[in-house]
Amino acid sequence: MPTILFDSTIFGPVRSRRLGVSLGVNLLPVDRKLCSFDCVYCECGLNASSRRAAPAAMPTRAEVAALLRERLLDMARTGVRPDVITFAGNGEPTLHADFASIIADTLEIRGSLCPQARVAVLSNATQLHRPDVVEALRTVDDNILKLDSGLTSTVLRLDRPQAAYGVERVVEQMRQFAGRLTVQTMFVRGTIGGEPFDNTSAPDVDAWLRCLDTLRPQGLMVYTIARATPLPTLVKVSRPELEALAAKAAPLVGSVSVSD
């Protein structure tokens, strides 16, 4: 089973397929995955592979601020500037209890050390019932929220939420941003649990387009798997197919990017 875990709180910079030169911030433990989804395509592996007897240790707010400041100062000395500071890492960043305060610290540090950089959060949108998370996401430059299908049944198979989940409820919560968000959708096909899977099917795409019509997001990221996945029976969707899906969505969103 392929697994890529980030072994530090601040990582990179790395060249992101969708964001440019990205300095990563991992608010999760450095020795395991911690996520409210258990996506069958996740490069960090499946949740079961990361379970430990000892409690998971997350970095403190003070540690994140100190490490981020130190890394940005190091980059400035070498003449390298990030295009974006990206909250991602070993799971779902909004699970951190101090997520909102850490975002506020990051915006302050960004303003003093690299004002040209954007601040982005990659989230699976499972914590939008928390007002502090919503308010923090309103303040970042790139509020990127996952929606892999407009059908709850498909999300349950592909993303495997670890708590009660319904697409309709999540889309309603996303509406709080009044379009100031970017929807990120992974398209993939193959088999899951021995049964065929394809979220490019007409019912999935039609439901997805209805969600986009409701949200009218400022951005949309359409992509497919780029590396080996924990489930070897998954396969990429071709770029022409991704571009065709993006074309269908284009009238409903501000801008669309495609990655394969």
**Residues 15, 139 contacting (CB under 8 angstroms):** no
Band of pLDDT at residue 17, cut at 50, 70 and 90: low
**Three-class SS of residue 243?**
helix
Band of pLDDT at residue 51, cut at 50, 70 and 90: low
Predicted local distance difference test score (pLDDT) of residue 57: 86
Mean pLDDT of the chain: 94
Q: Over the stretch 64-115, which tens digit does the pLDDT of each residue have?
A: 999 999 999 999 999 888 999 999 999 999 999 999 999 999 999 999 999 9
**Three-class SS of residue 197?**
strand
Q: Over the stretch 210-255, which tens digit does the pLDDT of each residue have?
A: 999 999 999 999 999 988 888 999 999 999 999 999 999 999 999 9
Domains and CATH numbers, the chain: 10-259 (3.20.20.70)
Q: Over the stretch 173-204, which tens digit does the pLDDT of each residue have?
A: 999 999 999 999 999 999 999 999 999 999 99
Residue 54, pLDDT > 70, answer no
pTM (predicted TM-score): 0.94
Residue 142, pLDDT > 90, answer yes
Q: How far apart are CA 184 and CA 64, in angstroms?
A: 26
- Which residues are CB-neighbours of 240 under 8 A, at least 6 positions away? none
Q: What is the dihedral of CA 164, 101, 85, 94, to 10 degrees?
A: -10
